[in-house]
Amino acid sequence: MDVIRDSIENRANDVCRAKEELRTTPVYPHSAAYAREHGELEQYRAFNNVNLQCKESIEAAVREHFDGMYLSHDAAKGVIETYGMERVALVLANTVQLQDWDGRYSRRNKEWAKTIPNENPETVRCGYVLNSHPAVLDGFIDLVREEQQRSRTQGEKLQPSRPSVRDKLKQELPAHKPAASKKREPER
């Protein structure tokens, strides 16, 4: 019985470790040529493999959460939790960048996609282009961007804000209490 319990625990630990690796595999900011020159080819390959897995997870999330008319509001949350905001945004932006001719992506999302750099050549980037319907993906991108904005505002709330000098000056100065008068003895 202990063997079974140990194997279940080991398998659960492996799954948790694999999930954490997906989230912590960094987004590689350079091309394959740069990676080869600097001995970072393993990181580059890991980056591309995780991008492919992220693409598949996004497509699965779209299939699960789109009922034919509506995309549920929590469609993006699971993918973001698994892969992190930066990677999900990269894969989505990659798709929009390579399909910028498609009018089913909103102008707003096309502009957003341009802000996310991707140094890979087009032949590599085609590997993690999403195949879901562009109109549904546009809605999914909106959800990711909302979540991105929400996490930014929560991050700002967590950081204590320093009061501005103007606010400090506007505050009332503490009322001056007159010093307690000492009893004076009458002069003689």
| pTM for this model (two decimals) | 0.72
* Domain around 121: 24-152
* Confidence band of 1 (pLDDT split at 50, 70, 90): confident
| 154: region left, alpha or beta (phi > 0 left; psi from -120 to 50 alpha) | alpha
Quick check: 85 pLDDT over 90? yes
C-alpha span between 16 and 110 (Å, rounded): 35
Q: Which of 101, 85, 92 is nearest to 138 (CA)?
A: 92
**Angle subtended by helix axes 85-98 and 107-114, to nearest 10:** 110
How many domains does the structure of the chain reveal?
1
- What's the confidence (pLDDT) of residue 181? 58
Domain assignment present for residue 65? The answer is yes
Q: Which of 73, 74, 130 is nearest to 104 (CA)?
A: 130
Q: Which of 33-37, 84-88, 116-120 has the lowest mean pLDDT?
A: 116-120
Domain assignment present for residue 42? The answer is yes
Higher pLDDT, 155 or 31: 31
Q: Which of 83, 62, 57, 90 is nearest to 74 (CA)?
A: 62
Torsion, Cα of 98, 101, 102, 108 (10° steps): 80
Higher pLDDT, 132 or 13: 132
Domain assignment present for residue 178? The answer is no
- CB count, 10 Å around CB of 102? 14
Domain assignment present for residue 10? The answer is no
Return the residue matching tokens 């470790």: 17
Q: Which of 98, 103, 125 is nearest to 114 (CA)?
A: 98
Domain assignment present for residue 35? The answer is yes
* Confidence band of 119 (pLDDT split at 50, 70, 90): confident
Q: pLDDT by residue (tens digit) across 150-178?
A: 988 887 766 655 556 566 666 665 555 55
Mean pLDDT score of the chain? 84
- What's the confidence (pLDDT) of residue 170? 63
Percent of the chain whose pLDDT exceeds 90: 57
Quick check: 184 pLDDT over 80? no
**Identity (one letter) of the amino acid at 64?**
E
Domain assignment present for residue 46? The answer is yes
Domain assignment present for residue 188? The answer is no
Domain assignment present for residue 19? The answer is no
Phi–psi pair at 67, nearest 5 degrees: -95, 10
